Amino acid sequence: MTTPPRILASPAAEALIARLVAAHGPLMFHQSGGCCDGSAPMCFVRGEFRVGGRDVLLGHVGSGPGAATPVWIGAAQFEYWRHTKITLDVVPGRGAGMSLEAPAGLRFIVRSRVFDEAETAALLAAGEPPRGDCAEDATSAPVAKGLEPG
């Protein structure tokens, strides 16, 4: 079995991500675990949020131009959610004030389901996902510090 993705995006989320990329350029998400936003996925212009050294790269979402939008989660929260496949979705409502979708009257949310036994085995065989002590090159692929291009 190939390694299952830890993060997916619903068609509605994909469409909103495409609109936000067109308006703002490359994006990134951080799955907040803070007190103010609960566990809301926060959308930022890439480079406007500093990923912590222990944050975990869940994967990438988006399709079309600027498609490789990284989704990060804090290390402590990842430990609670590591056994779940997360789907980024969007619903009407007031989002977090700092997240880019908020002015549109929409908010990103996450839905999750537990990985099945085969998916869990494939994830264990693949090893741990990249941590925030990685940098991202122009294609959003994680690159170990000191090996950045250029």
Is 147 inside any structural domain?
Answer: no
- Where helices occur in 26-94 by DSSP H, the ranges are 75-81
Tell me how long the chain is.
150
Residue 71 lies in a domain: yes
In this predicted structure, what is the pLDDT of residue 62? Answer: 82
Look at the chain and report how many structural domains it folds into: 1
Q: What is the pTM of this model?
A: 0.83
**Inside any domain, residue 105:** yes
Q: Is residue 149 situated within a structural domain?
A: no
| Tens of each residue's pLDDT in the chain, 150 residues | 799 999 999 999 999 999 999 999 999 999 877 655 567 899 999 988 888 888 999 999 987 665 689 999 999 999 999 999 999 999 998 765 788 898 888 999 999 999 999 999 999 999 999 998 765 533 344 433 433 333
Is residue 150 a part of any domain in this protein?
no
CATH number, position 62: 2.60.300
Are residues 100 and 44 in contact, defined by beta-carbon separation less than 8 angstroms? yes
Distance of CA 110 to the CA centre of its chain: 10
Judge whether 145 lies within some domain.
Answer: no
Domain ranges, residue 82: 7-129
pLDDT at 148: 37
CA distances from 63 to 45, 98, 125, 131, 146 (A): 16, 23, 27, 23, 29
What pLDDT does residue 72 have?
Answer: 94
Please indicate, yes or no, if residue 103 is contained in any of the structural domains.
Answer: yes
